[in-house]
Structure 1
Amino acid sequence: MKTMQNIARLAATAILCAAGALAGTAVAKDFKYAIGQPPGSYNEKMGQEYAKRVKQHTNGRHSVRVYPMTLLNMAETSAGVRDGIADIGFLLTPYFPAEYPHTNLISEASMMLRLMGDEVRGKEASAFVGAISEFIFFNCPECHQEFAKQNSVYTGHIGGSSYGLICTKPIKSEADLKGKRLRAGAANWSRWATAVGATPITMSANEMREALAQGVVDCAILSTPEIHNFGLMEAIKDITMAIPGGIFTTAGFNMNTKAWQGLSVDDRKAFLRASAEGGAYTPWIYQQKENELIEEAKKKGVRLHDADPALVKKTQAFIEQDMNTISKYFAEKHGVKRGDEMLATFRPILTKWVKLVQPVTSMEQLGDLYWKEIYSKVDVARHGQ
């Protein structure tokens, strides 16, 4: 009799374990998070903030270990998450134009910020990160299909402050740009470089310092906080921030599909909350640090330049034209079929976010705003399934 009872108990336990697995009630796990930026960079610190929030919101069931520039570099992150080398990856989608064309169309529309007036100045990152995250979660099924093809699940964007020219020589006018080699991290800045007579150079951000120091490139198109992140201070001599504008965005917490589906519904919600709150670190800190880095550079002898009004005007004209041609570019290069519709949907979302971030005065408020307006509305029972 006892033998039969023991067998019954074992069978019941097995059934409960199987049911738990099907429901996604995974055992505690230490998730590997690959960030292709070095230790001490702002995004490595963002990763630590995200990890803290994951532990908090899962009540300690799960933890995240951050691997800055050790597990995967930037060029390896997409395939590394796909193949399960990392559970979560800091994914720079513009590095992979063929894999993420719909996502990149919106990402590369960031120069649109220059057309939105003074209200957005100094809040570009907060507004655009909110807008692109909302758009991809709820208005871009093609984007989710792109991630799914790479065996990953989209869990939100992050992004930094406005882009300018970080150089080894003075750039003030269009004449100064003629023939100059500009490292461009995405196609929109490559198109701008060509339009002003410069030569765009494609390379990983991990290669920028050496390229600037050895004269392989004359400038990098970057935000000033990246001077700190990539140790560029000793390699640069001149900064011109009035051009070209736009920001760089990253799918900051891209998760391997198996890792995501192994989470319970409650834990998926907890990871998204960590994305909202921890991910607010990057746009917030970049906005706080951009002027600080300029002042530090000036103290070290780096010259700060204003751009010639004619060059600013030409840049503005390029942006207006590029907003009309970007969908055609992505249709021809990458087969994106509804680019015009996507941009038409995205623009009012961005306008809304420019207004939403105006009263925000802290990283915590920004994270709460992202959670309330975007991440809390994701149907985690269906997302990524």
Structure 2
Amino acid sequence: MQFLAYIPRLIVAALLCGATMIGGTASAKQFKYAIGFPPGSYNVKMAEDYAKRVAKYTQGRHSVRVFPLTLLNMAETSAGLRDGIADIGFVLTPYFPAEYPHTNLVTEASMMLRLMGEDVRGKEASAFAGAVTEFTFFSCPECHQEFAQQKAVYTGHVGGSSFGLLCNKPVRNEAELKGKRLRAGAANWSRWSTAIGATPVTMTGNEMREALGQGVVDCLILSTPEIHNFGLMDVISDITMAVPGGVFASAGFNMNVNAWRSLSAEDRKAFLRASAEGGAYTPWIYQQKENEILEQAKKKGVRMHEADPALVRKTQAFIEKDMGAIAQYFAEKHGVKRGEEMLSTFRPILQKWVGLVQPVESMEQLGELYWKEIYSKVDVNKHGM
């Protein structure tokens, strides 16, 4: 029955795809960008910002039309991009563990941020998005193979701010968490949930509001800006942000391989420039909106809680242990053979980015940093070709 619910949307998507094919070819001026977030959300605004930058850097040769939630939802985006329903897609790779295991190994190590001292506090999103993008472009050939198998070309990650617990009841300590159903968007938070005696529940972001409102889950493991993105304010009564930590990173501008190869080398570089600067939008806005959303929640009567110190210590111990176990987990679950080497390569890259983002004072500066340090170094004559 769930599949049947997708049929109308897929028919519309196929008609849109067909209209493009009738009107032109690989040199079409307009690219369809599917993003599974609702209109008005921060990531849709990011996509619209990216579209403006594509037009700017291609000098009007190409344009991007953004489809918020209508063309493909979060669960459909990877396959829809593969099948050419969209030219560009916001792909949440942790939703597809079998398709992107090497990519997810690194993105699901994001709780590593809690081991990097106070300098990273409030800058988790900027640092992690830069680090995982640099690593994926230059140190993970297996990641590019994963995207290629899905007929996609990787063009950078975006990432949000630190994760906490957004709940419909107080959860402040291990006793209150025991047996609670926690919506976890990736395997690392599922493992943490199990470690503290809770039950992880897997569902897409498009299903969260209804699940929390109806009591199907007790908490969402999520960042506070998602309260705005998914209209969660009315279904949340309690927030505890001290645990578990970590951020969610997505392949924000994945391109269909035929769409990418239809571009000239000059335009491929222009799309990467748009990805670098557009990709700075999400981490920057999420960081800026964290406290603002919390203040709005307080005014709405949502209760704010400090986590019990024992729970914080247990979370820290879990992270330290998980950093040693995550490679084994991905080897056993997904056949990743080079996990330990990948993580040992990634950690100093992340530490470097914690330092690089310290002086950044604007979204424009962050975009320029991403371009200078990462995207400008991609060989557009070879990448994705």
Question: TM-score per shorter chain, which class?
Answer: over 0.9
**Aligned counterpart, 1:100:** 100
Residues 88, 254 of structure 1: 8 Å contact kept: yes
SS in 1 for 2:76: helix
- Pick closer, same or farther for the CA change 1:195–1:217 going to 2, 3 Å: same
CA distance in 1, matches of 2:27, 2:123: 40
CA distance in 2, matches of 1:380, 1:349: 23
1:226 matches 2:226: yes
**Aligned counterpart, 1:6:** none
**Aligned counterpart, 2:275:** 275
Which of 1 and 2 has greater Rg? Answer: 1
Deviation track 1:1-35 (CA, whole Å, cap 9, x = no partner) reads xxxxxxxxxxxxxxxxxxxxxxxx96451000000
CA distance in 1, matches of 2:299, 2:374: 41
**Aligned counterpart, 1:22:** none
Map 1:3-18; keep pairs closer than 5 Å. none
CA distance in 2, matches of 1:126, 1:275: 14
Deviation track 1:95-154 (CA, whole Å, cap 9, x = no partner) reads 000000000000000000000000000000000000000000000000000000000000
CA distance in 2, matches of 1:86, 1:180: 38
Deviation at 1:267?
A: 0.2
CA distance in 1, matches of 2:215, 2:26: 51
**Aligned counterpart, 2:339:** 339
CA distance in 2, matches of 1:279, 1:34: 16
Deviation track 1:73-99 (CA, whole Å, cap 9, x = no partner) reads 000000000000000000000000000
CA distance in 1, matches of 2:242, 2:181: 18
SS in 1 for 2:47: helix
Q: Extract unaligned runs of 5+ from structure 2.
A: 1-24
Give the letter for the 2:226 counterpart.
E
1:82 matches 2:82: yes
**Aligned counterpart, 1:247:** 247
Give TM-score scaled by structure 2 length: 0.93
Residues 26, 258 of structure 2: 8 Å contact kept: no
CA distance in 1, matches of 2:249, 2:135: 13
CA distance in 2, matches of 1:27, 1:68: 24
**Aligned counterpart, 1:309:** 309
Deviation at 1:382?
A: 0.2
Give the letter for the 2:162 counterpart.
S
Give the letter for the 1:197 counterpart.
G
CA distance in 2, matches of 1:196, 1:265: 50
Map 1:45-60; keep pairs closer than 5 Å. 45-60=45-60
Residues 276, 375 of structure 2: 8 Å contact kept: yes
CA distance in 2, matches of 1:163, 1:326: 19
Give TM-score scaled by structure 1 length: 0.93
Give the letter for the 1:146 counterpart.
E
Give the letter for the 1:368 counterpart.
E
Residues 28, 61 of structure 1: 8 Å contact kept: no
CA distance in 1, matches of 2:228, 2:249: 18
Give the letter for the 1:42 counterpart.
Y
CA distance in 1, matches of 2:82, 2:122: 35
Between the two proteins, the alignment pairs up a number of residues equal to: 361
Give the letter for the 1:74 counterpart.
M
SS in 1 for 2:215: coil
Give the letter for the 1:270 counterpart.
A
**Aligned counterpart, 1:72:** 72
CA distance in 2, matches of 1:108, 1:45: 25
Q: Extract unaligned runs of 5+ from structure 1.
A: 1-24
**Aligned counterpart, 2:292:** 292
Deviation at 1:225?
A: 0.1
Structure 1 vs Structure 2: percent identity of aligned residues?
A: 79
Give the letter for the 2:51 counterpart.
A
**Aligned counterpart, 1:149:** 149
Deviation at 1:319?
A: 0.2
Q: CA RMSD in A?
A: 0.8
SS in 2 for 1:74: coil
